[in-house]
């Protein structure tokens, strides 16, 4: 399996190099050159297997010769051993044809753990073999950062620097990033929003001198391995509900478009997904783009679902690449327009492809809060605000086909919003009970590439 860039001019890489490279050197994102199909019988045979075995069977064709079968099985076993639920991704029923896929039983209580725990193991195995050292730099609106720190803390050959928007993540998210004591963990609070942080990370990748000097690696969903790991739970949920003999729909709370793009890959592999619904909060650029064809940024508005406060949605570039018939030059042109002018117009043909592929909807702040209140009243399920955005949009898309909404974070990560909607403050799991007593360690920096690069140069330990 080979990987190619969405902008068409970066070197073609194998799986391991793609994972360690992060952003392609032409500024694009890597994608497999083809998506390996799964036969109906292969999909059917996933039913009843452990999550780990399903993960092995779904991901194996993408890995090539990077790891032996035995190594890969062991890596997967270690990745999911720390999850707090034996099913890893259990499902609850909200209504006769509406299900909630709980993706928050990992160590940092968000869906990011599914990929990050796996990537941590994959990086360790690859770096042990090569003896290389890397500096991971990531941007976060709260959940990617804590998951990355948890996966890489204390590892010998890795430093991890996480940029988060100062004052725009929940207190639990911030403390998850600022309280680890390991010297290879570095939290940076940036003056700006998530888009600022993500742009800084991409600028670092495009600064080749810096990139090569520090051995830059990325664990945002620009990293293909992140997306791949998230493909698995679409299969696990769908076969539980009768796929491939019966189609299933999914609604995905969306910000950076990584999670829903994983669903798109599952469908491309042959999983019968009827509707794939993009659910946005008031930062609804994706919903507007699908409705109007204009992808136009208009400033991030802070919301009660802060992890989705994103306007420059990184993985949408991967969807555009397919929508434009895998024309890297066309994608590069759109991304230049986005960078220089804050937006672009999607061509009619590409828009038609995207509309046939994705449905979409948005939830206002009031609708999000009301969904948390209503759902706990009707089902006793306490939703986090991101999952509530998903449930609200899913309810407008219900049909005879079972709908699965992805519950992307644990309610205790966003206690203020959940308490305001339910009257009850959700408690953190016992193992995190002292989170608010642990000392914090963070560096505040301006939105200034050279200041952040200097900080990284001076503070990396490897
Ligand atoms: C809790 C939560 N839900 C949903 C999302 C959206 O996921 P994606 O960025 O993959 O679209 C994120 C982060 O982006 C998140 O942290
Ligand atoms: N919501 C994310 C934003 C970064 O997304 P990623 O999937 O590209 O890493 C977060 O919580 O940080």
Q: What is the pLDDT of residues 210-229, one digit of tens each?
A: 999 999 999 999 999 999 99
* pTM, to two decimals: 0.98
Q: What is the pLDDT of residue 66?
A: 87
Question: Residue 39 catalytic?
Answer: no
Mean pLDDT of the chain: 97
Fold of 91-108+224-422: Rossmann fold (3.40.50)
Tens-place pLDDT, residues 283-333 = 999 999 999 999 999 999 999 999 999 999 999 999 999 999 999 999 999
Give, using CA atoms, the residue closest to atom 14 of ligand 1: 255
Q: How many CA atoms lie within 13 A of 62 on its CB side?
A: 28
Using an 8 Å Cβ cutoff, are 224 and 31 in contact? yes
d(Cα 166, Cα 345) in Å, to the nearest integer?
32
Using an 8 Å Cβ cutoff, are 108 and 143 in contact? yes
Q: What is the pLDDT of residue 462?
A: 72
Q: How far is the CA of 162 from the centre of ligand 2 (A)?
A: 11
Q: What is the pLDDT of residue 189?
A: 98
Q: What is the pLDDT of residue 457?
A: 98
Give, using CA atoms, the residue closest to atom 5 of ligand 2: 256
Indicate the top mutation candidate among 103, 116, 119, 140 to test ligand 2's pocket, ranked by most ligand atoms within 8 A of CB.
140
Residues with CB under 6 A from ligand 1: 110, 143, 221, 253-260, 307-308, 386, 408-409
Q: How far is the CA of 52 from the centre of ligand 2 (A)?
A: 24
For the chain, the farthest-separated pair of C-alpha atoms sits apart, in whole angstroms, at 58
Q: Number of helices (H) and strands (E) in the chain: give both, helices first.
A: 19, 15
Q: Which residues of the chain have pLDDT under 50?
A: none
d(Cα 122, Cα 408) in Å, to the nearest integer?
23
Q: How far is the CA of 144 from the centre of ligand 2 (A)?
A: 5
d(Cα 352, Cα 363) in Å, to the nearest integer?
24
Q: What is the pLDDT of residue 169?
A: 97
Q: What is the pLDDT of residue 453?
A: 98
Q: Domain-by-domain residue ranges, the chain?
A: 91-108+224-422
**Among 79, 99, 97, residue whose Cα is nearest residue 88:** 79
Q: What is the pLDDT of residue 421?
A: 98
DSSP string of 160-222, one letter each residue: EEEEEETT-S-HHHHHHHH----TTEEEEEESS-HHHHHHHHHHHHH-HHHHHHHTEE--STT
CA torsion, points 138, 148, 440, 309, in degrees to nearest 10? Answer: 60
């Amino acid at each position: 399996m080979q990987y190619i860039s969405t902008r068409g001019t970066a070197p073609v890489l194998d799986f391991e190099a793609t994972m360690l490279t992060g952003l392609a050197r032409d500024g694009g994102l890597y994608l497999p050159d083809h998506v390996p199909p799964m036969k109906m019988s292969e999909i059917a045979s996933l039913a009843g297997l452990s999550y780990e075995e399903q993960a092995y069977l779904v991901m194996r064709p993408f890995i090539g010769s990077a790891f032996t079968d035995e190594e890969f099985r062991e890596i997967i076993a270690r990745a999911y051993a720390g999850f707090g639920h034996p099913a890893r991704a259990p499902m609850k029923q909200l209504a006769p044809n509406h299900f909630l896929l709980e993706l928050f039983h990992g160590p940092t209580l968000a869906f990011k753990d599914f990929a990050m725990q796996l990537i941590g193991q994959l990086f360790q195995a690859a770096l042990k073999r090569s003896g290389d050292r890397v500096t991971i730099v990531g941007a976060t609106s709260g959940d990617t950062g804590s998951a990355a720190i948890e996966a890489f803390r204390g590892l010998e050959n890795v430093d991890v620097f996480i940029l988060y928007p100062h004052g725009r993540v929940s207190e639990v998210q911030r403390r998850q990033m600022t309280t680890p004591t390991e010297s290879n963990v570095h939290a940076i609070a940036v003056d700006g929003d998530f888009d600022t942080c993500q742009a800084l990370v991409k600028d670092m990748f495009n600064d080749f001198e810096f990139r090569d000097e520090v051995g830059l690696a990325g664990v945002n969903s620009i990293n293909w391995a992140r997306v791949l790991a998230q493909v698995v739970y679409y299969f696990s949920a769908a076969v539980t509900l009768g796929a491939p003999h019966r189609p299933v729909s999914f609604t995905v709370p969306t910000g950076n478009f990584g999670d829903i793009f994983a669903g798109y890959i599952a469908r491309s592999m042959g999983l019968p997904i009827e509707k794939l619904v993009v659910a946005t909060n008031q930062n609804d650029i994706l919903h507007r783009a699908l409705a109007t064809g204009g992808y136009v940024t208009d400033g991030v508005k802070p919301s009660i679902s802060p992890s989705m406060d994103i306007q420059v949605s990184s993985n949408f570039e991967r969807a555009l690449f397919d929508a434009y018939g895998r024309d890297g030059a066309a994608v590069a042109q759109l991304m230049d327009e986005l960078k220089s002018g804050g937006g672009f117009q999607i061509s009619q043909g590409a828009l038609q492809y995207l509309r046939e592929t994705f449905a979409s909807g948005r939830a206002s702040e009031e609708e999000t809060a009301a969904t948390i209140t209503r759902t706990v009243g009707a089902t006793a399920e306490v939703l986090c605000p991101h999952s509530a955005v998903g449930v609200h949009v899913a309810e407008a898309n219900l049909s005879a086909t079972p709908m699965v909404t992805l519950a992307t974070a644990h309610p205790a990560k966003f206690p203020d919003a959940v308490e305001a909607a339910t009257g009850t403050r959700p408690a953190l799991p016992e193992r995190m009970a002292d989170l608010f007593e642990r000392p914090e360690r963070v560096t505040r920096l301006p939105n200034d590439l050279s200041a952040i690069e200097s900080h990284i140069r001076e503070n990396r330990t490897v």
